[in-house]
Amino acid sequence: MYMITFFKTTEGKTPFKAWLKALKDARAKTKIVMRIDRLSFGNPGDHKPCGQGVWEMRIDEGPGYRVYYAQDGKAVWLLLAGGDKRNQQADIERAKEWWLEHQGRKNEI
C-alpha cells in the first residue's frame, strides 16, 4: 500500500487540497477521491506520464478532470495539483515546477 501526501508551498498551502475543496461538482469530487484511494493501492487507472517524474491521472467526468502526482520514494505518492482539460498545459507546467521545488527542499535536508 502507498501513502498519499500533498505538496505544500513554502507558505504552507496545499494547492491540491484547495483545488479539490473549491470544486463544486460533487459527483466529480467523489470520483476523484475514489481514484486517489485506488492510487494508494498502486492502481492509478487511466494515467500517463507528463515528464520530469510527474504523472497525470485522467478522470472521465465533467470537463475532463486531472490529478497531477509524482512518486516520492518507494511507497509514497505526492499529489501536486488538480485541474481540467481547459487549463491542462498550464497545470502540467505548474505541477512540474512544484515537483522540482519539492525535490529541491528534500535535497537541502
32 touches 67 (CB < 8 A):
yes
Residue 39 predicted with pLDDT over 90 = yes
Per-residue pLDDT band for 109 (boundaries 50, 70, 90) equals low
Task: Give the predicted TM-score (pTM) of the model.
Answer: 0.94
Residue 12 predicted with pLDDT over 90 = yes
75 touches 81 (CB < 8 A):
no
Q: CATH for 3-104, among 3.40.50.300, 3.40.50.620, 3.30.2310.20, 3.40.605.10?
A: 3.30.2310.20
In the chain, what are the domain boundaries?
3-104
Beta strands in 20-100 (DSSP E): 47-51, 54-59, 65-71, 76-84
